[in-house]
Amino acid sequence: MAIFALQSLAGGFLDEDLHSFNKYFDDWCIQFESYEDAMDIVQTLEDPESIDVVEITPLSYPKYFFNSLQGTIYATRQIDDKIICVVEPYIGSSFRIAICDLKTKNVRLTKTTYKNIPSIENAFSNFGESF
């Protein structure tokens, strides 16, 4: 299920008070169930041209909900209540598979490292219930 949030063009997400922007998306940020509801609020704000409505889907959750997950995320998929990601923790490092738990908000990196995207593709596509 997708949710919608209000993001400043300069960065940050609109807080519940509708005045300040949080650097990271968190529980204090205002959330909407539909694009239309979000747009209704945008139109009431002082400078609506400087605010975008952002759709957050389960596959983009790691970017928004898991601040402890550092690095570049190349691919994501959802298995039950977990988001599985291919991540490069820092530039030039080996790739890893990250397991992000939607219920507990915990992030765990697998021990196996991969030198390039083709080498991790098979592991990622066959990653199953064994986590």
Domain ranges within the chain, ordered by starting residue: 3-56, 62-126
Q: What residues of the chain score a pLDDT lower than 70?
A: 1, 129-131
Nearest CA to 34 out of 13, 14, 55 is that of 55
Alpha-carbon span 104 to 122, nearest angstrom: 27
| Rg of the chain in Å (alpha carbons) | 17
Q: What is the DSSP letter of 59?
A: G
Q: What is the pLDDT of residue 39?
A: 95
Alpha-carbon span 108 to 110, nearest angstrom: 7
Q: What is the pLDDT of residue 41?
A: 94
pTM comes to: 0.69
Q: What is the pLDDT of residue 54?
A: 92
Residue 128: both structure tokens together: 């199953």
| Residue for token pair 């765990």 | 108
